[in-house]
C-alpha cells in the first residue's frame, strides 16, 4: 500500500516540475502519450475576417437543376467605387441580374443585392442556353454593365429521346413509371419493394 501511495506522490511531483517556465506534460497511461494544454488563450482570435473583395471583377454562373442556376461575383476596389458613385448620382438605379435566354433570344431582369455576392436564379426553362449580366438598371433602357458571366445549359427535365437498342419501349416505360414517372417531389408512387424469389 505504501509503495502505491509513494508512486502516486512521485507522479504528482513530476507533473508539477517546470521545464522552461511551462508545466511538464502529464502522461496518458493508456496510450503513453503526453497531454498538453492548449496554447491558445480565449482572447486570441483563431480566424481572421475574410476580405470584402479579392480584387477581381467577375461573375460566374453554375447550373443547379433544370430550372435554377447559382451565381456568384466579386468586384475590384475600382469597380466597387464606380458602383457606389453611380448609385449616389442616380437614385433610380437598382442592382439587377440580366438573364439572357440564348436559345429563345429573350431577356429578363431579376432584382438582387450586390453585397450578397451570390444569388440563386430561377431560369424556368430546361434544356436551354443561358448567360447573365450583373449591372445597375432603372427598369427601362438604362443599364450599366458590371460583369458578364459564362454561358451555361440547363439539363433536360425528361428522359432522353435516345433509347438504346437493347431496351425496348415497353421496358423503358415500366422503369420510368416505377421510378415516379415524372411526378416531381413524390418518392416513387406506385412502386413497391418486392423481394426476389430464390
CA–CA distance, 155 with 102 (Å, rounded to integer): 15
Residue-level pLDDT at 103: 95
pLDDT digits (tens, 9 = 90+) for 120-167: 999 999 999 999 999 999 877 889 999 999 999 999 988 777 766 666
State the number of CA atoms in the 13 A half-sphere of 163 facing the CB: 14
Architecture of the 58-153 domain: Sandwich (2.60)
In this structure, of 19-28, 41-50, 106-115, the range with the lowest mean pLDDT score is 19-28
Q: Do the Cβ atoms of 126 and 157 come closer than 8 Å?
A: yes
Going by C-beta distance under 8 Å and a sequence separation of 6 or more, which residues neighbour residue 57?
73, 74, 75, 76, 79, 146, 147
Q: What does the chain come to in residues?
A: 198
CA–CA distance, 104 with 76 (Å, rounded to integer): 33
Is the pLDDT score of 1 beyond 80? no
pLDDT digits (tens, 9 = 90+) for 49-64: 777 777 899 999 999 9
pLDDT digits (tens, 9 = 90+) for 69-80: 999 999 999 999
Q: Using the CB atoms, write b or e for 44-63: b if 16+ within 10 Å.
A: eeeeeeeeeeeeebbbebee
Residue-level pLDDT at 23: 47
Write the burial class of residue 132 (CB in 10 Å: 0-12 exposed, 13-18 middle, 19+ buried). Answer: buried
Is the pLDDT score of 94 beyond 90? yes
C-alpha dihedral sign at 28, 33, 39, 42: negative
pTM, entire model: 0.58
Can you tell me the mean pLDDT for 114-125?
A: 93
Amino acid at each position: 500500500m505504501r509503495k502505491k501511495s509513494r508512486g502516486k506522490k512521485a507522479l504528482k511531483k513530476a507533473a508539477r516540475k517546470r521545464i522552461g517556465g511551462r508545466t511538464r506534460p502529464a502522461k496518458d497511461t493508456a496510450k503513453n502519450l503526453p497531454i498538453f494544454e492548449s496554447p491558445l488563450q480565449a482572447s486570441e482570435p483563431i480566424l481572421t475576417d475574410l476580405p470584402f473583395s479579392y480584387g477581381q471583377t467577375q461573375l460566374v454562373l453554375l447550373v443547379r437543376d433544370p430550372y435554377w442556376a447559382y451565381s456568384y461575383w466579386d468586384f475590384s476596389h475600382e469597380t466597387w467605387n464606380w458602383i457606389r458613385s453611380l448609385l449616389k448620382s442616380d437614385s433610380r438605379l437598382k442592382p439587377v441580374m440580366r438573364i439572357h435566354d440564348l436559345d429563345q433570344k429573350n431577356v429578363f431582369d431579376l432584382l438582387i443585392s450586390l453585397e450578397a455576392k451570390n444569388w440563386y436564379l430561377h431560369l424556368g426553362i430546361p434544356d436551354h442556353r443561358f448567360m447573365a449580366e450583373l449591372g445597375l438598371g432603372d427598369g427601362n433602357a438604362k443599364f450599366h454593365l458590371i460583369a458578364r458571366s459564362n454561358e451555361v445549359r440547363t439539363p433536360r427535365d425528361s428522359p432522353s429521346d435516345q433509347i438504346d437498342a437493347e431496351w425496348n419501349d415497353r421496358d423503358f416505360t415500366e422503369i420510368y413509371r416505377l421510378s415516379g414517372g415524372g411526378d416531381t417531389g413524390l418518392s416513387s408512387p406506385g412502386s413497391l419493394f418486392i423481394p426476389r424469389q430464390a
